[in-house]
Amino acid sequence: MIRKYLHDGIPTFFFNYDTGAPFTRCTFCDGKLDAYNKYMVEKHIRQNTVLHSREIVYEYALCWGCASNMGSEISDDSKQAIQQLFAAHGETLMRKVDYLHTTKQYTLDSWMERCSLTGKEIRLCSEFSASALVEDGNLVFEQTPLVISDEFMEKMQGVLSKETKEGFDGLRDKIMDGSPSVEDLVYGPVPGLL
Ligand SMILES: [Zn+2]
């Protein structure tokens, strides 16, 4: 039972940090995002749980054209392993999504309170990532926004093959300076995996 709700516009959290406005171009191909009716945004955030401070490690926007091709960067073994990992946590995800739709909690705070896959509270994470889908300029609440805790990241780390990690090298180079390890890229809801 997947419902879908379009937020009016895009919450500032998913804006381009540098411009203070919504993303307009794909981080990977530099094409205009509005060449398609939807795109993805992902932010990877590090936070100090004691000082309650946050910093963006990186962020990117992914046009639908690039998103559609992205699955090919991942080896079959890794794809299968990731799918199994998501499936193993699918119940937490579905319960969360179902609850938020049923109670009509269409705010980013509600969706980002806990890890979509492990249920860990995001405020207790030293790192987390949040990814969302934007359709015709509006944030989509459906299965996304997807929020991933440091706990789930570690699990992902454990199942990725060497080839997949290498396959993401090229993509990492296209993301802004100071990029963390490439495998972080797949913490998002890479289309084709979900
Ligand atoms: Zn693109």
Q: What is the Å distance from ligand 1's center to 27 Cα?
A: 7
Q: What is the Å distance from ligand 1's center to 29 Cα?
A: 4
**Could you list the pLDDT tens digit for every one of the 194 residues in the chain?**
668 999 999 999 999 999 999 999 999 899 999 999 999 999 999 999 888 889 988 899 999 998 887 766 677 787 788 888 888 998 999 999 999 999 999 999 999 999 999 999 999 999 999 999 999 999 999 989 999 999 998 888 788 766 666 666 556 555 544 444 434 444 444 443 43
C-beta neighbour count of 161 within 10 angstroms: 16
Q: What is the Å distance from ligand 1's center to 33 Cα?
A: 7
What whole-number distance in Å separates Cα of residue 19 and Cα of residue 187? Answer: 25
List of residues 6+ apart from 75 with CB closer than 8 A: 161, 163, 164, 167
pTM for the complete prediction?
0.83
Q: What is the Å distance from ligand 1's center to 36 Cα?
A: 10
What whole-number distance in Å separates Cα of residue 97 and Cα of residue 73? Answer: 28
